[in-house]
Structure 1
Amino acid sequence: MRKIVGFFVLLFSLNACDDGDFTIESFDFTSATTNSCNSGESGFFIYKINDNEALILQIPETNFENEITPTGVPRTLSINSTNKVIYRLYNGDLNTNVICNTIPPANPTVTKEWNALSGNIEISTSVNKEVDETTNASEITGYTHSIVLRNVNFDTGNGNQQLFTELVFGDYVTSSLRQGDFDVNIAQCGSDNSFLFKIPVIGSSTPANVPPQAMTLRIDPNLFVAEVTPENQPRTALINGTSNFLQLVYYNDIIGSEFLCASETPTYPIPIEEFNAENGVTDVSGIIEVTTTIEYEIPTDNQSPVIGHRHKIILKNVTMTKVSSPELQISFNLGNVYEFGEFVILL
């Protein structure tokens, strides 16, 4: 049998159904990138290309969930009529248009196809982050799904089968939801100084992975005293999950102040991902600082009357952790110093 240069540099047993012949097949796609077709549709699949060869994994896209799997406990799927593994050899070089085209092109054409009859698909998911070395701020950029196929038995045609005990398919990366551009000016619900929020502008040019969102801060109103704070002596408190509670929520549709200030929690839009701030530690993390200055009537000059006090809120070393999986610590840091914003309390 012709030796196929393909997907995995491994040696395995071949159980042939004819004369009990023993042959070796090897695959090597290690330098190939994993791509996908039909994301968001029922015909979704991922694949790798190596010249004129393709290895295709067709499983529901929901199996690539943006949640970390515990160490040694991957998501496991049985290969069946829903979860398919297919190897193909073509008579010419391949590209994405050939693989993803709903109407097969005239050339190249498939000259050999192996369909997996049984086995398991294991998916282990980890989180990807970018870290700013200057500010120590981090952001979740996506998730890497490492895929291993175990005890996969291929139908190679002509009554033959090939068993691979372990095949490392490789990594498939999905993007994460991202923060929008929050303005430094913050809003409140009427005269309630204990609940403050920011909503970034979402427009037609906003990337798809930046959904409608809000950053909210429940804060002890006693931090907002009508007195100027001495230089470098802000009022301080710690995030504690109750009276001082910071949250970032992504929604499935546009939200506004009416939504956030409603007396009863609206049923729509629906939160699709939530991050809560971890409780603070004195002089270490989760610190809230409030600096107060005098706000004058515009234009500001020596004759302008005082109209209120401007309160600037700074957050220091705040870690935000995903609500759906706090034990797995899917989290990011707002940085050494994060300017939540400022607002004015009128006299």
Structure 2
Amino acid sequence: MKKYACLLLFAMLLNGCDDGDLTEEKIDFTEITPVGCDTKTYDLLYKIKSQESLLLKLPQYTLAPEIGTPVVGTKEFDIVANGAYQLVYRAYDGVISKSNICDDIRPTFPNVTNEWFATGGRLKIVTTATTTENTENGSSSITGFAHLIIIEKVTYSKPQGSQVENEDLVFGTITTGYTSPSVTFVNAVGECPTTKQLYNYTSTYSMTINDIDPNLIVDAETPVGSPRSSSITATQNKVVYNTYNGAIDVNYFCNGTPTSPTINTTWNATVGGIIEVATTKSGTTFTHTITLKNVQLVNGNLSFKLGNSYLLGTLTK
């Protein structure tokens, strides 16, 4: 009987032996909001729990470009070993904080006890604009951007071997700020003598009306409450808003296309808005009050509204 009992025990031990398969470990940061070490460059993002961290390294300004505006939509990048986009999981032998991740001189404790490096996968960043609406005047402004980060089919290199994650890793959403273009002008409207381009400007931005309908600016009074009006089309009354990488003055206009300072961003009015001009006369001087109605300005996938009625300014001739 002892003989059979020993054989049975031996068989059970054989079945219980490791067959060479690695035990799959799980990391879970689902409920943790990601944070950036540097809220200008966003080159290192992290999520931390008590004794764990998940780090995502990106090239500088991937989320918020140093010049211009983020691209709204989906961007995808490959994650490879020692590449520009890196994902790292770490476990520690004590409680950690931001200083363990971001400081140039990091605390000597706690120590890293386990480290996984992503050697494969696909990084997806879905960027959307956040806007606010002014219900009183119909205007809107862009207040920031939300960047949803998802990593597909991650392969980790671990001390015990490799592990492939079949489920997508939702790293989370990083929100970056943005200052919506200012459309406040204090100057009077100017007119180019040859092209009849209308313009208003500050030192850093301008708004122009190009290929203007010749029937809008006419030296004749309009009845009160009955301004001249003309629609914005693809070929006429083209409203353009520019920001610049330097200071401009009145000499920037009417002299061809200057090469300096360079244009930072360009926003074009969509077809369908209305330009209204009300004209009054005092002696021999005509004053043309220029108002834009229901105009929306677009830059790529970004847009904001000037409102139901926006005063560009007055032109005196």
Same fold (TM over 0.5): yes
1:301 maps to which residue?
Answer: none
2:277 maps to which residue?
Answer: 290
**Cα distance in 1 between the residues matched to 2:247 and 2:110:** 46
Once the two structures are superposed, residues 182-235 of structure 1 have per-residue CA deviations (whole angstroms, 9 ceiling, x without a partner) of 22533325646822222235xxxxxxxxxx322112223431222322121010
2:289 maps to which residue?
Answer: 312
Deviation at 1:168, TM superposition (A): 0.5
**Cα distance in 2 between the residues matched to 1:173 and 1:38:** 10
**Cα distance in 2 between the residues matched to 1:149 and 1:344:** 59
Is residue 187–residue 201 contact of structure 2 (8 Å, CA) maintained in 1? Answer: no
Deviation at 1:152, TM superposition (A): 0.9
Tell me if 1:246 matches 2:239. yes
1:94 maps to which residue?
Answer: 97
Q: Which stretch of structure 1 is more off in the superposition, 252-261 or 128-137?
A: 252-261
2:77 maps to which residue?
Answer: 76
Deviation at 1:162, TM superposition (A): 2.8
2:310 maps to which residue?
Answer: 338
Deviation at 1:63, TM superposition (A): 3.7
**Following superposition of structure 1 onto structure 2, how do residues 206-285 of structure 1 map, counting pairs within 5 Å?**
212-218=204-210, 219-263=212-256, 265-280=257-272
**Cα distance in 2 between the residues matched to 1:36 and 1:22:** 33
Amino acid at match of 2:263: P
Match for 1:128 among 127, 130, 135?
A: 130
**Cα distance in 1 between the residues matched to 2:81 and 2:135:** 46
TM-score (norm 1): 0.75
Is residue 277–residue 319 contact of structure 1 (8 Å, CA) maintained in 2? Answer: yes
Deviation at 1:79, TM superposition (A): 2.9
Is residue 78–residue 120 contact of structure 1 (8 Å, CA) maintained in 2? Answer: yes
Once the two structures are superposed, residues 259-291 of structure 1 have per-residue CA deviations (whole angstroms, 9 ceiling, x without a partner) of 23323x2223222321111112xxxxx011111
Tell me if 1:67 matches 2:105. no
Q: Structure 2 vs 1, CA of residues 190 and 98 (structure 1 numbering), >3 Å: closer, same or farther?
A: same
Is residue 18–residue 160 contact of structure 1 (8 Å, CA) maintained in 2? Answer: no
Amino acid at match of 1:248: Y
SS of equivalent residue, structure 1 residue 229: coil
Q: How many residues align?
A: 291
**Cα distance in 2 between the residues matched to 1:182 and 1:18:** 72
Once the two structures are superposed, residues 149-197 of structure 1 have per-residue CA deviations (whole angstroms, 9 ceiling, x without a partner) of 111122232x333322211011123334521352253332564682222
**Cα distance in 2 between the residues matched to 1:18 and 1:67:** 50
Match for 1:175 among 177, 185, 202?
A: 177
SS of equivalent residue, structure 2 residue 114: strand
Is residue 32–residue 50 contact of structure 1 (8 Å, CA) maintained in 2? Answer: no
**Cα distance in 2 between the residues matched to 1:253 and 1:18:** 68
Is residue 29–residue 50 contact of structure 1 (8 Å, CA) maintained in 2? Answer: no
Is residue 240–residue 268 contact of structure 2 (8 Å, CA) maintained in 1? Answer: yes
| Structure 2 unaligned regions, length at least 5 | 1-17
**Cα distance in 1 between the residues matched to 2:215 and 2:146:** 44
% identical equivalent positions? 30
Deviation at 1:309, TM superposition (A): 1.6
| Structure 1 unaligned regions, length at least 5 | 1-16, 202-211, 281-285, 296-305
Deviation at 1:253, TM superposition (A): 1.9
Is residue 117–residue 157 contact of structure 2 (8 Å, CA) maintained in 1? Answer: yes
Q: Which stretch of structure 1 is more off in the superposition, 75-84 or 188-197?
A: 188-197
Q: Structure 2 vs 1, CA of residues 334 and 117 (structure 1 numbering), >3 Å: closer, same or farther?
A: same
SS of equivalent residue, structure 2 residue 101: helix
Q: Structure 2 vs 1, CA of residues 228 and 50 (structure 1 numbering), >3 Å: closer, same or farther?
A: farther
Is residue 241–residue 277 contact of structure 1 (8 Å, CA) maintained in 2? Answer: no
Is residue 57–residue 85 contact of structure 1 (8 Å, CA) maintained in 2? Answer: yes
Amino acid at match of 1:93: I
Q: Structure 2 vs 1, CA of residues 294 and 36 (structure 1 numbering), >3 Å: closer, same or farther?
A: farther
Once the two structures are superposed, residues 295-345 of structure 1 have per-residue CA deviations (whole angstroms, 9 ceiling, x without a partner) of 4xxxxxxxxxx25121111111111121xx3xxx43222111111111211
